[in-house]
Chains A and B, each alone.
Chain A
Amino acid sequence: MNIICLVKFVPDITGFGYDYEASSMVRNHTRMVLNPDDVCALSFAFKVKERHPDSQIQVVSMGPTTVVPHMHDLLRIPVDKGTLISDPLFAGSDTYATSEVLGSYLKTQSFDCILSGSRSLDGATSQVPPQIAEILSLDHMLDISEIDVEKISPTEAVFSVEGERETTTWSMQLPGVLSLGRSSTCKLPYPSYADLQRDVSDKLTILTNKELGLDPSHVGLEGSLTKVVNTYDANSRRRAKTVVETNEEGIEFVFSYLKDRGFV
């Protein structure tokens, strides 16, 4: 199998806090991590490779060159090939422009399957994978909970989606785009000790618009069809709190409070 994984490095928001008292964001210790849903996509690619050792995994990402060390980490796991699309011209691209850029590269590649996460931790609107599928005229499925590793072949994938009221199992012809949802069981392999310090830079290609040759007016801020014009405080939700403890007095207070409002 020839697999392309679309990944994104995002700020690790578990390190973020919000100080509601001061209405400000606490951004200490922010580091970039591989988007959790994308971990599931890559983890599945490795499952396929374990079963079919001749499979090739290429990781494709778009972002600033500051993520190069993170790409290197993936190449040490080892992912066979890494492609980072990075050009200041692309900065500020909305999802429309982003999928144009990624799509223009993917058009030049041969693959059986594109895997991605469903949602990104920072944007979380899952627009890019379906737009890429549209650009490439491929089928796509979102929020996949599991792909059947025994049944996947270069021409077909079988997978399930856990919905609100039912779990559905689907088949889709490949090539296609499959977006996985987050699951607690997804893990990436560890690099071998020998690979920890290995120079993997020869496996990483950094592409700029010089190579992709897109019309500059179709990418970045200029090529975006939406524009952020305002930001609002998302956190004006402070309430006049009463603080109690778990002693008798506290429990009494909570009980009366709930009783007065008809909850008990």
Chain B
Amino acid sequence: MKRILILQDTELPKRSNDLLEVCNRIYGSEDHEAWLLAFSSDRENLPEGFERIILVQDEGILTEDARYICAIIMDLYSHHAFDTILIPGTWLGRMVAPRLAKQLHVGLVAEINDVQRNKDTLEFVRTAYSGNVLAGITMTSNPPIILSIKPGIFSWEPESLPKTIIQHYDKKITSPSSLTCLERKQRPVSYDIRDSEVLVSGGGGAKRAYPLLETLAEALSGDVSASRKLVDQGIAKRTIQVGQSGKIVSPRLYVAIGIDGAIQHVEGLHNVETILSVNTRPDAPICSISDVVVVGDAKIFIEKLLQKIALENEHTTPDQYTSDRGERE
């Protein structure tokens, strides 16, 4: 029986079970069970699918202290000798996984987005060379296998749910860390582009048209996202950045406005149903991966399309509009 420990994704606790898909990909039909290391502050959001959940009574900032979390994992490892440890590739996970690998003297393949089984060897796939190539990487160190997992790539569909045992972890572990949180300021978050069904996304060529993206997004019942270029220039917020250094998104419709489609950006598009790109250059890389390419100026395109949508809405009588909405509700 193989045993896997998964660290809770503290940013999206309920999504922690997506990492169970990684376990399935590694072990296939081989008998295995997955344990989750979770924190009591997330008690309400414990995900399904784990054989055991180890619940740590945390006090405040300790859940954000990588050295403390490593100390707990090392303690658990000394008792349970996990075959594999999976860490979500979040802000916290990216601090925990490298330290843990050092402490256990094992290699780390970070932010993997695929697992390939070739006969007896396991290959962990991640983007390399600035995202231009996918590299299949093997571990040459002894077990355990430590991986950090790129968020938003794997998704798990339960076949059958095991009965979860919840085990409280109340051992007192002192953190060697001097970190103290002085202040927390909540930021109003209107939306998370990872949840959006429709994204209107702006790139370097949409600088002038940027204020219009919001209006188009509204007309398409979607949200605005951006490429790194607009974020680096301070025009768009980093929280809505798509791509290798931003977020992985999976909308049904992705409208790429003035986006060149550098590989680091395309890296952020995962299972997108329809890609519509607007670009002055028909040979921009994004055009090759689009379903529809509009060659032309971004501002003119948005204005004309908005006009067209408004016109069509006018033609729809108020009665039809109400009944349409009524049916949907």
Contact = CB atoms under 8 A, between A and B. Distances in A.
Interface stretch (A57-65, A115-123, A200-208): A115-123
Interface in B230-284: 231-234, 238-239, 244-245, 252-253, 262-264, 266-267, 274-276, 282
A168 B180 CA distance: 10
A16 B261 CA distance: 11
B103 A134 contact: yes
Nearest to A156: B178
B275 A239 contact: yes
B110 interface: yes
B134 interface: yes
Interface in B95-110: 95, 97-99, 101-103, 105-110
B304 A237 contact: no
B283 to A, nearest CB: 8
Given A95-B108, A231-B128, A254 B276 contact: yes
A26 B97 CA distance: 34
A247 B263 CA distance: 30
B223 interface: no
Contacts of B187: 162, 165-167
B215 interface: no
A245 interface: yes
A234 B132 contact: yes
Nearest to A251: B304
Interface in A148-173: 158, 161-173
Interface string B130-160: 1111111111110000001000000000000
A143 B128 contact: no
Contacts of A234: 127, 131-134, 263, 267
B181 interface: yes
B106 A225 contact: yes
A235 interface: yes
B98 A130 contact: yes
Interface in B205-233: 219-221, 231-233
A121 B181 CA distance: 29
A89 interface: no
Contacts of B264: 13
Interface string A125-144: 11110110111010111110
Contact of A239 (B116, B134, B289): B289
A169 B234 CA distance: 22
Contacts of B105: 225
Contacts of B132: 16, 18, 25, 234-235
Given A16-B262, A127-B108, A263-B198, A166 B184 contact: yes
Given A130-B95, A139-B67, A243-B282, A170 B182 contact: yes
Contacts of A166: 184-187
A214 interface: no
A224 B67 CA distance: 24
B309 interface: yes
B8 to A, nearest CB: 16
B220 A139 contact: no
Contacts of A162: 187, 238
A246 B137 contact: no
A184 interface: yes
A99 B102 CA distance: 9
Contacts of A18: 132, 262-263, 285
A242 interface: yes
A233 interface: yes
A127 B301 CA distance: 43
A240 interface: yes
Nearest to A142: B95
B253 to A, nearest CB: 5
A122 B141 CA distance: 24
B175 to A, nearest CB: 10
A179 B233 CA distance: 21
A255 interface: yes
Contacts of A38: none
Nearest to A135: B102
Contacts of A119: 245
A162 B187 CA distance: 9
A40 B326 CA distance: 53
B165 interface: no
A228 B137 CA distance: 4
6 contacts: A13-B264, A164-B192, A169-B181, A185-B234, A235-B266, A243-B292
User: Which 4 residue pairs of A and B lie closest in terms of their CB atoms, listed nearest first?
Assistant: A225-B107, A230-B136, A20-B288, A246-B296
Interface of B: 11, 64, 66-67, 91, 94-95, 97-99, 101-103, 105-111, 116, 121, 123, 125-141, 148, 176-187, 189, 192, 198, 219-221, 231-234, 238-239, 244-245, 252-253, 262-264, 266-267, 274-276, 282, 285, 287-297, 300-301, 304-305, 308-309, 312
